[in-house]
Amino acid sequence: MGRIVGLEGSFAVAEAVRMVNADVIAAYPITPQTHIVERLAEMVANGELDAEFICVESEHSAMSACVGASAAGARVFTCSAGQGLELMHEVLYIPSSMRLPVVAVAANRALSAPLSVWCDHSDAMSLRDIGWIQMFAENNQQAFDLTVCAYRMAEEVLFPAMVHIDGFYLSHVIEDMELPAEEDVRDFIPDYEHPFVLDPDKPVSMGCYAPPFIYPETKKAQEVDFEATKQKILKTWEEFGRIFGRYYSPVELYRMEDARIALLVMGSLSETAMLAVDEMRDAGEAVGLIRLRLWRPFPFAELRAAVKDIELLVVLDRAISFGMGGPVCSEVRSALYNLVERPPVIGFIGGLGGRDISVAEFRYMIKRARERVNAGEEREDKPELIGIRE
């Protein structure tokens, strides 16, 4: 049986890595991810987890070591944030193209300059095309659950998986959560054997060189298989729900029944957004919330179904694509564009570099979005940056 504990988000992630019995951990410290590495180092030192802990000299080497270890058949883990993910960037494309089920947690952080250790999604948005399964958690329970699920998904489909947890908001906050029994997690994440490992008994060549006559075929194969991960992702969540009693899906709805307006957010902000929706519902406004749980592969069908009956969609981005707007908003718009009937999508950008977003600000976004619709500006592209002191 599980037990209720108060755990910091970082420790929840470390618990998940311990329970899945990872073999190799390679990580480099960066705020706000440090507590995850520290806790794992402690677990290995205390014998709570039998793993090799490689204290690498950089994030580039952290991901490279994970790639090597995974290619040799090990269950691996790394975690990083902000600048660390940027330094790791080049290597992130390798496990997805070489079909290695590396699992990583990103404690999302703003990017320099100016230096900021606080949360936003700029780092996550620079990773959109790396070919990993990517999910966003909104509380510590989910940080734990999704990390466990990431192993199951990655090892079944042989693609890497990344769980995004908001830096500080989750990584450093202690919350009540249920820690399942270790045997149940071990049953859910059984030992796995990669079909092709680096082994002198069965020599294979990995990471060969591909000229134009063959490179595109490798990418087509990757894309076809990556699209197909969706079914396994759904199956994993369904089975996880049956065993552990918590159900996840690619797009999760909150009070969307007969909603006319929907807010869409990712990550820990959805907890505040739910409070805002409750308040607005209490005031008789038909507002609901869409939480984008699965970021890659992008859940087109689920998103389209979610906005089918609404009149207005308000998207809050926690990152800027300079000269373009909010990255999530632009992806959501493109996902809806081919629908014959679709709601206008109004974008806001906020919460950069750890700036809080309050319930009042969510209410403000809804109010402003309505005003823009009334002023006939509902199809305008430009997002408003909220909470800025002019």
Residues of this chain that interact with another protein (CB under 8 A) are: 23-24, 26, 50-52, 54-58, 60-62, 64-74, 76, 90-91, 94, 98, 191, 198-211, 214, 218
- Is the CB of 64 or the CB of 321 nearer to another protein? 64
**CA–CA separation, 112 and 87 (whole Å):** 12
> The tokens of 248 are what?
């996840």
**Alpha carbon of 180 to those of 20, 77, 103, 276: distances in Å?**
12, 20, 20, 31
Neighbour count for residue 246 (Cβ, 10 Å)? 14
- Is the CB of 70 or the CB of 139 nearer to another protein? 70
Please confirm whether the linkage preceding 12 is cis (ω < 30° from 0): no
Name the minimum Å distance from CB 27 to another protein.
12
Name the minimum Å distance from CB 356 to another protein.
38
> The tokens of 388 are what?
């800025």
> The tokens of 324 are what?
């373009």
Name the minimum Å distance from CB 164 to another protein.
23
Neighbour count for residue 186 (Cβ, 10 Å)? 13
* Cβ–Cβ < 8 Å for 40, 49: yes
For β-strands 251-254 and 261-265, DSSP reports them as: unpaired
Name the minimum Å distance from CB 99 to another protein.
13
> The tokens of 83 are what?
């600048």
- Is the CB of 50 or the CB of 356 nearer to another protein? 50
Bridge partners (DSSP) of residue 156 are none
* Cβ–Cβ < 8 Å for 121, 318: yes
**CA–CA separation, 344 and 16 (whole Å):** 40
Name the minimum Å distance from CB 167 to another protein.
25
- Is the CB of 73 or the CB of 387 nearer to another protein? 73
Please confirm whether the linkage preceding 114 is cis (ω < 30° from 0): yes
Name the minimum Å distance from CB 60 to another protein.
6
- Is the CB of 97 or the CB of 321 nearer to another protein? 97
| Nearest alpha carbon to residue 163 among 120, 131, 189, 133 | 133
- Is the CB of 19 or the CB of 65 nearer to another protein? 65
* Cβ–Cβ < 8 Å for 165, 14: no
Calculate the CA 321 to chain-centre distance. Answer: 18
Name the minimum Å distance from CB 70 to another protein.
8
**CA–CA separation, 354 and 366 (whole Å):** 22
| Nearest alpha carbon to residue 73 among 173, 158, 174 | 158
- Is the CB of 132 or the CB of 169 nearer to another protein? 132
- Is the CB of 22 or the CB of 346 nearer to another protein? 22
Name the minimum Å distance from CB 76 to another protein.
8
> The tokens of 347 are what?
């974008």
- Is the CB of 14 or the CB of 92 nearer to another protein? 92
**CA–CA separation, 150 and 163 (whole Å):** 7
Neighbour count for residue 58 (Cβ, 10 Å)? 12
Name the minimum Å distance from CB 94 to another protein.
5
Name the minimum Å distance from CB 35 to another protein.
23
- Is the CB of 201 or the CB of 258 nearer to another protein? 201
